[in-house]
Structure 1
């Protein structure tokens, strides 16, 4: 049996780039496809910070509903936007090879770094880490797709704005005036693309299995395991990065207070193959060493 695989995607330039990448990969393996763009709740409301909306997976819910209703067969997501628990009936089909995991600062000159400044970001994780490193700075909210956020930076008197490097690189809008934030831990699964399918759709699941990149899958699963054990959702100020180096899994994770003043961090190295619980154990260790109280405070704030 063969069928046209309907690919659900958000309609931003970056989301369409991701969906077209999946489309090309599927067509390369002999499958017929069709793109079905939809607009998510998170894209429609740009006036409110994400954490204030109180919705986990705000960028993925619309596509989840479209899949469950049978309007699309698969959906392509930036994996960092996907809740650690997928909706009933929806399963992971493939993790594409991961891109750049770094956050970057697009700036108008870097002299302000040693004094006072205003940085824009819609991410509590980025805000907390920036304030931890630059406590004299202020951080303002920034929403919208990549192009919208770059334009807002130009239109306002901010010193800079923080972006995921992968997004700007993918649609080729990375400005020269940027610096890599090597010290900033990325969001769990940052730089990775996830394709989901319906659990009962054997045809699509088999088609997607051929696209899976195992090393990327291993790393993002570790990071999401860390996030899930902390019960942090997609908005809490949690950073995590797993990398495979010379047959070993190197993992770093951290939890921050919203103002950046508190930081709990953990680091682990285990041989590949002995890594199954590394994210979970790192999170438990972090919680036992003071992170539990901070997570309780964060849940009260973010769930009100």
Structure 2
């Protein structure tokens, strides 16, 4: 039996994710080894993500390592992965999803919520939704891995910073001073981990398929189809959340202007039988109700190819 080489970014959170997959594969009897790689998204920290002009800034280096045959499978935070995978690479498994919501980490005093404040985030989606709710606030750019972003919050005179709850929980860094932003629609596939493999590698595909969580796979499929239809890449302010409720799948999707002033949203449900085109259907409703003009504008502003 061959040893499965697991590729990952070298941040604490990425390594936690890789080790989680490794343990699950080991428990099934597979041999594994972890190979950590530093991505361009981790190296270039002095520019906002959208200025780098790439969807998949965190995944590109690992894609190359895989295509070169240096690693066999790669573990990603699914929200970082472009909706179209590189030729030759396929989705192997979506692990059971963790908490989907964003949280605001603050410094113990939340008076700024009813006055003026400064909030940090590197995400246009979070920025737009925050400004939509708190138009008098100032939002500053924040880059880096989870650990360095928490440190930057402490080192600056910002009132708070927005994080994905799942990331902080996974590496036990979630502080006591936080507010769950259950009104903020998360990034498509937020809280989910994705394992990809080479299309030609039957052994690894069969191995990782055993880790797949069907419900999480379906929900993230709908969210990513919504994102791909809007053609937002991972830079435009787009949120999407699909959840199983009773016998239906409930979906909420949003598209914002960069300043948060324009908002297009949709809430709809579908049955398990027709989920395969549901994300596209919801995105097209937003596009035909005025969202298309906003997407044209966003592409010009952000130079999304």
Do these two structures clear the TM 0.5 threshold for a shared fold by scoring above it? Answer: yes
Q: 2:237 aligned with 1:237, yes or no?
A: yes
Distance 1:209 1:151 in 2: 37
Q: 1:263 corresponds to which residue?
A: 263
Q: 1:100 corresponds to which residue?
A: 99
Q: 1:283 corresponds to which residue?
A: 283
Q: 1:292 corresponds to which residue?
A: 292
Provide runs of 4+ in structure 1 moved above 3 Å. none
User: How many pairs were matched up?
Assistant: 303
Q: 1:83 corresponds to which residue?
A: 82
Distance 2:273 2:78 in 1: 23
Q: 2:40 aligned with 1:41, yes or no?
A: yes
Distance 1:216 1:232 in 2: 22
What SS does the corresponding residue of 1:273 show, helix, strand or coil? helix
Q: Please list the CA deviations of residues 159-213 of structure 1 after superposition, one character each: whole Å capped at 9, or x if unmatched.
A: 0000000000000000000000000000000000000000000000000110000
Q: Please list the CA deviations of residues 254-286 of structure 1 after superposition, one character each: whole Å capped at 9, or x if unmatched.
A: 000000000000111112222221110000000
Distance 1:122 1:70 in 2: 32
Q: 1:144 corresponds to which residue?
A: 144
Q: Are the aligned partners of 1:51 and 1:302 in contact in 2 as well (CA < 8 Å)? A: yes
Distance 1:16 1:23 in 2: 10
Q: 2:179 corresponds to which residue?
A: 179
Q: 2:221 corresponds to which residue?
A: 221
Q: Are the aligned partners of 1:153 and 1:160 in contact in 2 as well (CA < 8 Å)? A: yes
Q: 2:10 corresponds to which residue?
A: 11
Q: 2:60 aligned with 1:61, yes or no?
A: yes
- The alignment's TM-score, normalised by the length of structure 2, stands at 0.99
Q: 1:211 corresponds to which residue?
A: 211
Distance 1:176 1:146 in 2: 16
Q: Are the aligned partners of 1:252 and 1:267 in contact in 2 as well (CA < 8 Å)? A: yes
- The alignment's TM-score, normalised by the length of structure 1, stands at 0.99
Q: Are the aligned partners of 1:93 and 1:196 in contact in 2 as well (CA < 8 Å)? A: yes
Q: Are the aligned partners of 1:26 and 1:32 in contact in 2 as well (CA < 8 Å)? A: yes
Distance 1:167 1:56 in 2: 20
Q: Please list the CA deviations of residues 8-35 of structure 1 after superposition, one character each: whole Å capped at 9, or x if unmatched.
A: 0000000000000000000000000000
Q: 1:25 corresponds to which residue?
A: 24
CA-atom RMSD in angstroms? 0.6
Q: Are the aligned partners of 1:124 and 1:237 in contact in 2 as well (CA < 8 Å)? A: yes
Unpaired stretches in structure 2, ≥5 consecutive residues = none
Q: Are the aligned partners of 1:244 and 1:272 in contact in 2 as well (CA < 8 Å)? A: no
Q: Are the aligned partners of 1:74 and 1:197 in contact in 2 as well (CA < 8 Å)? A: yes
Distance 2:279 2:145 in 1: 30
Distance 2:117 2:256 in 1: 21
Distance 2:254 2:59 in 1: 25
